[in-house]
Chain A
Amino acid sequence: MTGIALGGGFSHPPEQAARAFRAVLEAVSRPGTIWTVEGAVPPAPLTVAAGTVLLTLADGTAPVHLAGDADCQPVRDWITFHIGAPLVGAEGAMFAVGRWQDLLPLGRFHPGDPDYPDRAATLIVLMNDLTNAGARLTGPGIKDAARLSLPEIAAFQRNAVQFPLGLDFIFTAGDRVAALPRSTKVEGAACM
Chain B
Amino acid sequence: MNADSPTDQTARRDWMSALAKADPARLAALMPELPALEPLRPPEIGAVMVRGRVGATGAPFNLGEMTVTRCSVRLADGTVGHGYVQGRDQAHAMRAAALDALMQTDQAERLQTTVLDVLVAEADVARVQRAEKAAATKVDFFTMVRGEDA
By a beta-carbon cutoff of 8 Å, the part of chain A in contact with chain B is: 1, 3, 6-7, 9-13, 81-82
CA distance A13 to B39 in the complex (A): 12
Instruction: Report yes or no: B78 in contact with A3, Cβ–Cβ below 8 A.
Output: yes
CA distance A37 to B40 in the complex (A): 20
A32 → B minimal CB distance (Å)? 34
Instruction: Report yes or no: A13 in contact with B44, Cβ–Cβ below 8 A.
Output: yes
By beta carbon, the residue of chain B nearest A61 is B49
CA distance A111 to B103 in the complex (A): 48
By beta carbon, the residue of chain B nearest A12 is B42
Known: A6-B74, A6-B80. A81 touches B42 (CB 8 A): no
What 18 new A-B contacts, CB under 8 Å, besides A7-B40, A10-B42? Answer: A1-B1, A3-B74, A3-B78, A3-B80, A6-B40, A6-B41, A6-B72, A6-B74, A6-B80, A9-B40, A9-B41, A11-B39, A11-B42, A12-B42, A13-B42, A13-B44, A81-B41, A82-B41
CA distance A167 to B39 in the complex (A): 36
| CB within 8 Å: A-B pair count | 21
Return chain A residues, CB-CB under 8 Å to B74: 3, 6
A sample of 21 inter-chain contacts (CB < 8 A) reads A1-B1, A3-B74, A3-B78, A3-B80, A6-B40, A6-B41, A6-B72, A6-B74, A6-B80, A7-B40, A9-B40, A9-B41, A10-B42, A11-B39, A11-B42, A12-B42, A13-B42, A13-B44, A81-B41, A81-B72, A82-B41
Return chain B residues, CB-CB under 8 Å to A11: 39, 42
What are the 10 tightest A-B residue pairs by CB atom distance, in nearest-first order? A6-B40, A9-B41, A6-B80, A3-B80, A7-B40, A13-B44, A3-B78, A6-B72, A11-B42, A13-B42
CA distance A2 to B41 in the complex (A): 15
Return chain A residues, CB-CB under 8 Å to B78: 3
Return chain B residues, CB-CB under 8 Å to A1: 1
Return chain A residues, CB-CB under 8 Å to B80: 3, 6
A144 → B minimal CB distance (Å)? 43
Render B42-84 as a binary contact track against A, CB cut-off 8 A, 1 for contact: 1010000000000000000000000000001010001010000
Return chain B residues, CB-CB under 8 Å to A9: 40-41
A137 → B minimal CB distance (Å)? 37
Interface residues of B in 77-98 (CB under 8 A from A): 78, 80
A51 → B minimal CB distance (Å)? 14
By beta carbon, the residue of chain B nearest A6 is B40
Q: Looking at B41, B74, B80, which has the most chain A CB atoms within 10 Å of its CB? A: B41
CA distance A10 to B43 in the complex (A): 11
